């Protein structure tokens, strides 16, 4: 995923203040049910980081999850993807997942999605039997982990 693939939301600023360390904080309200705080970490280039965990609805987060499923199927191949999810990426149910698939999605959300910067490499542990793959450089697998690169 690249920075150009991000969805831009129009946000209504609630507060804006500067700390004694000259770090700017912006709290925005994205919808009536969702609030999140961002910190301006740099100005050249502009870097905005999530300052706190968002509260409320996921809003567009499920679209990121769907994109992850499609990416994972392309990276692993359909046969191995179906070994984990039991179906093709476009057929993954919206409501409930098989235990191995749910754990992999949870790991993706905690390890890669929540703190995504576009510059860091993340690793996700693949469920059995794929975790037995020691090395497959064409698919980005090393010691049972799949690599997510910027």
Tell me 32's DSSP state.
T
pLDDT digits (tens, 9 = 90+) for 8-54: 344 444 344 444 444 455 545 444 455 666 677 777 777 777 766 66
* 126 and 82 in a common domain: yes
pLDDT at 67: 92
* 138 and 74 in a common domain: yes
Task: List the structure tokens of 100.
Answer: 């191995």
Q: Does 19 reside within a domain?
A: yes
Task: List the structure tokens of 2.
Answer: 């690249």
How many Cα atoms sit within 13 Å of 66 on the Cβ side?
Answer: 9
Q: Does 4 reside within a domain?
A: no
pLDDT at 24: 52
Q: Which of 38, 31, 34 is nearest to 16 (CA)?
A: 38
* 135 and 76 in a common domain: yes
By residue range, what is the domain housing residue 16? 10-50
pLDDT at 39: 72
Q: How confident is the model at residue 150 (pLDDT cuts 50, 70, 90)?
A: confident
pLDDT at 12: 40
pTM: 0.61
* 133 and 114 in a common domain: yes
Strand order in the sheet with 122-125: 122-125, 145-148, 141-142, 135-136
* 46 and 108 in a common domain: no
Q: Which of 41, 60, 59, 42 is nearest to 51 (CA)?
A: 41
Q: Does 139 reside within a domain?
A: yes
Task: List the structure tokens of 91.
Answer: 């057929």
Q: What percent of the chain has pLDDT over 90?
A: 41
pLDDT digits (tens, 9 = 90+) for 49-100: 776 666 655 567 788 899 999 999 999 999 999 999 999 999 998 778 888 9
Beta strands in 19-114 (DSSP E): 24-31, 34-43, 46-50
* 45 and 72 in a common domain: no
* 140 and 114 in a common domain: yes
Total structural domains within the chain: 2
* 85 and 39 in a common domain: no
pLDDT at 62: 82
């Amino acid at each position: 995923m690249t920075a150009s693939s991000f969805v831009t939301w129009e946000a209504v600023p609630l507060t804006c203040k500067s700390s004694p360390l000259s770090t700017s904080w912006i709290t925005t309200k994205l919808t009536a049910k969702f609030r999140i705080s961002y910190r301006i970490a740099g100005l050249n280039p502009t870097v905005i980081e999530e300052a706190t965990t968002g509260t409320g609805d996921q809003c567009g987060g499920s679209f990121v999850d769907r994109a992850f499923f499609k990416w994972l199927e392309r990276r692993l191949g359909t046969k191995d993807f179906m070994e984990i999810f039991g179906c093709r990426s476009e057929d993954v149910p919206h409501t409930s997942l098989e235990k191995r698939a749910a754990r992999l999605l949870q790991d993706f959300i905690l390890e890669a999605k929540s703190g995504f910067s576009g510059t860091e490499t993340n690793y996700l542990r693949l469920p059995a039997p794929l975790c037995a793959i020691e090395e497959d450089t064409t698919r980005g697998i090393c010691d049972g982990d799949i690599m997510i690169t910027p």
